[in-house]
Amino acid sequence: LDAAAILLGAQVSSLTTKGGAIFDSLGSSVTYGQAAAKAASPTTKKVEVDLDDAPKRSVVGTPQRRIDAVDAVTGRKKFAMDLDVPDALPAMVCRAPDLNGKPKSVRNAAEVKAMPGVTHVGVVPTGVAVRARTFGQCIDAVRALDVEWSEGTVPGKKADDILAELKAAELPLAVPALGATTVEGSFTFHFRSGSALEPNCAIADVRKDSAEIWSGLKSPIDAQSKIAKILGLPQGKVKVNVVTGGGSFGRKLFSDGAIEAAEISKAFGVPVKLMWHRADEPRQGRVHPMSTSRVRATVLGESIATFEQRHTSVTCDFTHGLGERLTAEVAALPTGLANLGFSETIFLLTQEIPYNFGVTTQLLNETNYDFTRFNTSSVRNIYSPDVRVANELIVDQLANRLKKDPVAFRRQYTKSGVVRRVLDRAAELGEWGKSMPAGTAQGVAIHKEYKGATAVVVELDCRPGTVNRKVRDAVTGPRVTKATIVVDCGLAINPLGIEAQMMGGFSDGMSQVLTYGNHLVDGHFLEASWDNSAYTRQWNTPLEFVCEVMESDSTEPGGIGEAGVAASAAAVACAYARATGEMPTEFPINFRDPLHFEPKSFVPPVPASPTNGLDFVS
């Protein structure tokens, strides 16, 4: 406000705020962004802020629609690839057939450089880069390249080989299996692509003594420091412009596209507009690490005496640190033990068994401590979906062992009053316990994280007529017909936005259980593009979706970005077990089914560029 008063030439006492702007008594205004630039301080200061009481708030706690929604759906919203940076021509990279393979030599660089529109061809650490007048010409050049590659980081490996590594790294359970008193399960969760709707992309203009980058980034300071180190420049000589990204879900914690664009611009000596091909993303991009989860519980009479979980994961890469240079450098130290420290810290801070189950333990271990074998990241809720699916399936088994209703059992043992409230409300709204036809069932799950709690009740149809339904070019299978989500996230800043987040989180959790996974075969992933990846589609979404944001007793806001994923995944898994009579232990449940697609070629690594685009212009 002091800065705004200076900019407007007014007294602070005369200023008012509305709609993201600061007004003086004459109606002149400045935006918060303009005032923030003027108010920036070189030192950190502690200030006290008095918030309005809840009845006086006109924005916080009220439904607000996105201010960019119209621009987004009409194509006017600007992303990195929409920016017009002088001389920044399209660039793409020809990538190895193996995961993380490196180029050894290019046999026909001169011929490819002579192709129409091509201006540059050159080797970079991640492959062979090309720059051309159009992206179509880039694709043609990528397909024409004849490259000798080194083998990748997991040569010849398949999913079952990685599963064997995970099994060998599993930490022992403390309490031995005790016959009829033991309820246990061992679960496998396969790799899932972390691709967002927008492929990796960035614009880079690297000069002799400076560089400028434009990209959708979640860790821009880390990106700036890494790029400066690669280019041999002082960090202050690298300017990073954060552009709105077309989705992230943890993917853009890593600045792979920005770093690669900087390397290409430096190698070519000209600005570039880099875009990954959609086929690059699931094959060479970031993935949710494959994991196993073992759970063992001991029943004594009418009580649960012990509940143990041992979660084992392919190393999850946390070398972005906390977004700045120091912790990123620490996480990337040799041997991988520092990265493991980050993993274990995040696991312990985010995972909780929300039940009074006697002696409970949850431990994480990772294989190899090598974050360079697979390109992993903290994709969508990190450990929580896998951990909760394993936990809640065993909770249902315990309820069945004690001959109790799953909701009543959870309510009896739940630690938290907040969890109990959302569970009760979800059971009410979801009509828990209603009569269901054979081959269908309800499922329920709870999750506590981000200073809040979520409960989900679903109805799942596993009847043959539904599972085997035919939709053109589609993966179908079991169908969630109704989903009910209730969330208490503390002070709700925007209830409408929370509902949207929960709907997206549900779609994510459901797909991870039913259909969405990456198949590792012979050292590379088979999936290439969204038409191969069986993520949730319209024909798989619930026919009825209900979300209620409960009024909270807390006056502080919690997190909501991924709060709906874990409980949604677990509820669907529990419903599947009840509908089929068999507890699933491998996810997605269709992982061992015949592939629903013909794998695209690995050499060349991308499909041909389209030539009929004008046929679709209306």
- Closest residue by Cα to residue 89 from 141, 129, 134: 134
Q: How confident is the model at residue 497 (pLDDT cuts 50, 70, 90)?
A: very high
Q: Report whether the peptide linkage leading into residue 588 is cis, meaning its omega lies within 30 degrees of zero.
A: yes
**Alpha helices per DSSP H over 271-381:** 280-284, 325-331, 337-350
Instruction: Count CB-CB contacts under 10 A for residue 422.
Output: 27
pLDDT value for 465: 97
Strand partners, 525: 520
- The better pLDDT of the pair 307, 49 is held by 307
Interhelix angle for 406-413 vs 417-429, to 10°?
Answer: 160
- Domain borders along the chain are 2-41, 80-152+196-277, 161-192+287-587
Residue reference for tokens 């979980």: 309
Domain range 80-152+196-277, CATH architecture: 2-Layer Sandwich (3.30)
609 burial class (0-12, 13-18, 19+ CB within 10 angstroms)?
middle
Q: How confident is the model at residue 271 (pLDDT cuts 50, 70, 90)?
A: very high
Mean pLDDT of 199-224: 96
Q: What is the CATH number assigned to the segment(s) 161-192+287-587?
A: 3.30.365.10
Strand pairing category for 520-521 and 440-449: unpaired
Plot region of 118 (φ>0 → left; ψ -120 to 50 → alpha; else → beta): beta
> Distance between CA 567 and CA 49 in Å, rounded?
35
| Residue 445 contacts residue 455 (beta carbons within 8 Å) | yes
pLDDT above 90 covers a percentage of the chain that reads 79
Q: How confident is the model at residue 55 (pLDDT cuts 50, 70, 90)?
A: confident
Total residues found in the chain within this entry: 618
Query: Residues 323-347, buried b or exposed e (16+ Cβ, 10 A)?
Result: eebebbbebbeeebebbbebbeebb
Query: Residues 14-31, buried b or exposed e (16+ Cβ, 10 A)?
Result: ebeeeeebbbbeeeebbe
> Distance between CA 186 and CA 178 in Å, rounded?
16
Q: How confident is the model at residue 241 (pLDDT cuts 50, 70, 90)?
A: very high
- Closest residue by Cα to residue 261 from 464, 125, 422: 125
Question: Which residues are CB-neighbours of 111 under 8 A, at least 6 positions away?
Answer: 144
pLDDT value for 618: 62
Least confident of 317-331, 440-454, 576-590: 317-331
| Residue 128 contacts residue 146 (beta carbons within 8 Å) | no
Mean pLDDT of 590-615: 92
Tell me: the pLDDT tens digits for 423-463? 999 999 999 999 999 999 999 999 999 889 999 999 999 99
Mean pLDDT of 34-58: 84
In this predicted structure, the answer to whether residue 324 has a pLDDT above a threshold of 80 is: no
42 burial class (0-12, 13-18, 19+ CB within 10 angstroms)?
exposed
Q: Where are the beta strands (DSSP E) in 315-404?
A: 359-367
Mean pLDDT of 256-280: 97
Q: How confident is the model at residue 57 (pLDDT cuts 50, 70, 90)?
A: confident
Mean pLDDT of 589-603: 97
| 3-class secondary-structure state, position 445 | strand
Q: Report whether the peptide linkage leading into residue 604 is cis, meaning its omega lies within 30 degrees of zero.
A: yes
Strand partners, 147: 106
Plot region of 387 (φ>0 → left; ψ -120 to 50 → alpha; else → beta): alpha
pLDDT value for 333: 76
Q: Dig out the tokens for 445 from the structure.
A: 């799950």
- Closest residue by Cα to residue 97 from 141, 140, 144, 156: 156
| Residue 292 contacts residue 189 (beta carbons within 8 Å) | yes
pLDDT value for 614: 81
Q: Please tell me which of 327-341, 361-375, 460-474 the model is most confident about, judged by mean pLDDT.
A: 460-474
Mean pLDDT of 16-33: 91
Residue reference for tokens 């059971």: 427
Least confident of 24-28, 118-122, 545-549: 24-28
Q: How confident is the model at residue 19 (pLDDT cuts 50, 70, 90)?
A: confident
pLDDT value for 125: 97
3-state secondary structure 135-187: HHHHHHHHHHCCEEECCCCCCCCCHHHHHHHHHHHCCCCCCCCCHHHEEEEEE
**Alpha helices per DSSP H over 217-301:** 220-231, 256-268, 280-284
Mean pLDDT of 145-167: 97
Strand partners, 485: 456, 547
Mean pLDDT of 8-35: 91
Mean pLDDT of 261-268: 98
Q: Dig out the tokens for 165 from the structure.
A: 């590594």
> Distance between CA 363 and CA 172 in Å, rounded?
10
For residue 232, the one-letter residue type is G
H-run or E-run covering 309: strand 303-314
For residue 533, the one-letter residue type is S
pTM: 0.94
Mean pLDDT of 398-416: 97
Q: How confident is the model at residue 531 (pLDDT cuts 50, 70, 90)?
A: confident
Question: Which residues are CB-neighbours of 232 under 8 A, at least 6 positions away?
Answer: none
> Distance between CA 601 and CA 611 in Å, rounded?
19
| Residue 366 contacts residue 314 (beta carbons within 8 Å) | yes
- Closest residue by Cα to residue 293 from 252, 254, 351: 351
> Distance between CA 278 and CA 283 in Å, rounded?
9
> Distance between CA 490 and CA 470 in Å, rounded?
43
H-run or E-run covering 440: strand 440-449
Mean pLDDT of 538-563: 92
Residue reference for tokens 């549900």: 506
Instruction: Count CB-CB contacts under 10 A for residue 98.
Output: 22
Question: Which residues are CB-neighbours of 548 under 8 A, at least 6 positions away?
Answer: 425, 429, 485, 486, 487
Q: Dig out the tokens for 131 from the structure.
A: 């720059």
Interhelix angle for 565-580 vs 384-401, to 10°?
Answer: 40
